[in-house]
Amino acid sequence: KQEVTQIPAALSVPEGENLVLNCSFTDSAIYNLQWFRQDPGKGLTSLLLIQSSQREQTSGRLNASLDKSSGRSTLYIAASQPGDSATYLCAVGGSGSRLTFGEGTQLTVNP
Amino acid sequence: GAVVSQHPSRVICKSGTSVKIECRSLDFQATTMFWYRQFPKQSLMLMATSNEGSKATYEQGVEKDKFLINHASLTLSTLTVTSAHPEDSSFYICSATSGSFSYEQYFGPGTRLTVT
């Protein structure tokens, strides 16, 4: 059974700081990995999707990497802004398009 | 990008009644739809997977007679919470995939269910 762990559970940083969120998974037989953002009381916003054959994906200030063999992914956020404050979820895609989610990292960027 | 809608966004119902939540893919055909629930400050837990025209596959511990899922068309899936109880109060989120190469799932905005 796939298990996904995200570290840290919560993170508070000053505006402008670069930061890294971590995600680890136990079963390396994955199809893809997605990073999502969730604002309080809202649904999920997809940030980046990395296919199993890829090493990283970039979108604006976000960069996600994937090391399938070691079961790890990182989400790098450059020059953080208060608007980046949210919960970030990592989800691993397995057979049948099933996603297994981590518990999330709650990020607060202080102005 | 692909858009998934849910209706209603919020619903309050009395204990013992049933409530239906709709999930629609607006601009693509969803061969597979997923239903998740999320308790406060917790992550998403998959409840069931539904493929168009076939019975849903429920995750362990999810009562299929309580959470009825119908996926009658390639753009619509419904979740009916039957005989709702306060402990069913939660945030329900659906997602859909077209089954394309990327297997990317597109998520709806969620439905907040409160059972009084």
Residue B86's SS3 state is helix
Question: Is pLDDT above 90 for A66?
Answer: yes
**In this complex, do A102 and B93 lie within 8 Å of one another by their Cβ atoms?**
no
Q: What is the 3-state secondary structure (H, E, C) of chain A?
A: CCCEEEECCEEEEECCCCEEEEEEECCCCCCEEEEEEECCCCCEEEEEEEECCCCEEEECCEEEEEECCCCEEEEEECCCCHHHCEEEEEEEECHHHCEEECCCEEEEEEC
- Identify the closest residue of chain B to A104 by CA–CA distance: B43
Structure tokens at A52: 């199993």
How many CB contacts within 8 angstroms connect chain A with chain B?
57
Question: Is pLDDT above 60 for B102?
Answer: no
Q: Map tokens 């953080």 to a residue.
A: A80
Portion 5-64 of B in contact with A at CB < 8 A: 6, 32, 34, 42-46, 49
User: A32 with A89: CB under 8 angstroms?
Assistant: no
Render pLDDT for A3-21 as a digit per residue (tens, 0 to 9).
999 999 999 999 999 999 9
Spatial separation of the C-alpha atoms in residues A11 and A20, rounded to whole Å: 10
pLDDT of B100 reads 59
**In this complex, do B107 and A31 lie within 8 Å of one another by their Cβ atoms?**
no
Question: Is pLDDT above 70 for B47?
Answer: yes
**In this complex, do B95 and A41 lie within 8 Å of one another by their Cβ atoms?**
no
Structure tokens at B65: 């007679």
How far CA B22 is from CA of A107, B5, B8, B77, in Å, comes to 31, 8, 7, 6
Portion 95-114 of B in contact with A at CB < 8 A: 95, 97, 99, 102-110, 112
